[in-house]
Amino acid sequence: MSDSLERLYQAVIAARDLDPATSRTARLFQRGPSKMAKKLAEEAIEVVIDAVNGKTDAVVRESADLLYNLTVLWAAAGVKPEDVWREMERREDLLGIAEKMPKAVKAPKTAPGKLPKTTPTPALRRRIVALEGHSIQKRR
């Protein structure tokens, strides 16, 4: 899989300076990071909606769009696929490949120069629950 993403990344880099009138990638670069982020978010939502609705083929198609838009945003941010893989390896070494790093919790406020009395603990997570029997519609 990393070879496929690397090829996609290289194609995105090669296309960023093409004519925006004929290249979707160049058009995204021209419009900037906020447009790129919006497209990424839209694709992520579409993947979620299709997954909740049990549309496997649509999840595959929308996931390809999601990975494309993520790769465009990486390129604009100066992030390379190997940077992401390195972070994945670091996490695997710490927690195992299937675990997400816990979010840091802000330390309690204390008077200047004093240390907090307790050590911060990982934030509690809210579970995301799909409602059975309910269909979610995509906006088009």
In a domain, 11, yes or no: yes
In a domain, 122, yes or no: no
User: What domain range is 85 assigned to?
Assistant: 2-95
In a domain, 106, yes or no: no
In a domain, 34, yes or no: yes
Distance of CA 24 to the CA centre of its chain: 20
In a domain, 120, yes or no: no
Q: For the segment 37-83, what is each residue's pLDDT rounded down to a tens digit?
A: 999 999 999 999 999 999 999 999 999 999 999 999 999 999 999 99
Residue 132 three-state SS: coil
- pLDDT tops 80 at residue 107: no
Q: Which two tokens stand for residue 82?
A: 């190997």
Q: Residue 78: exposed, middle, or buried by beta-carbon count in 10 A (0-12, 13-18, 19+)?
A: exposed
Alpha helices per DSSP H over the chain:
2-15, 24-31, 33-52, 56-77, 81-95
In a domain, 44, yes or no: yes
In a domain, 91, yes or no: yes
> How many folded domains does the chain comprise?
1
Does the pTM surpass 0.75? The reply is: no
pLDDT at 129: 43
Residue 10, Ramachandran bin (φ over 0: left; ψ between -120 and 50: alpha; else beta): alpha
Instruction: Look up the CATH number of the domain holding residue 50.
Output: 1.10.287.1080
In a domain, 18, yes or no: yes
Q: For the segment 11-47, what is each residue's pLDDT rounded down to a tens digit?
A: 999 999 999 999 999 999 999 999 999 999 999 999 9
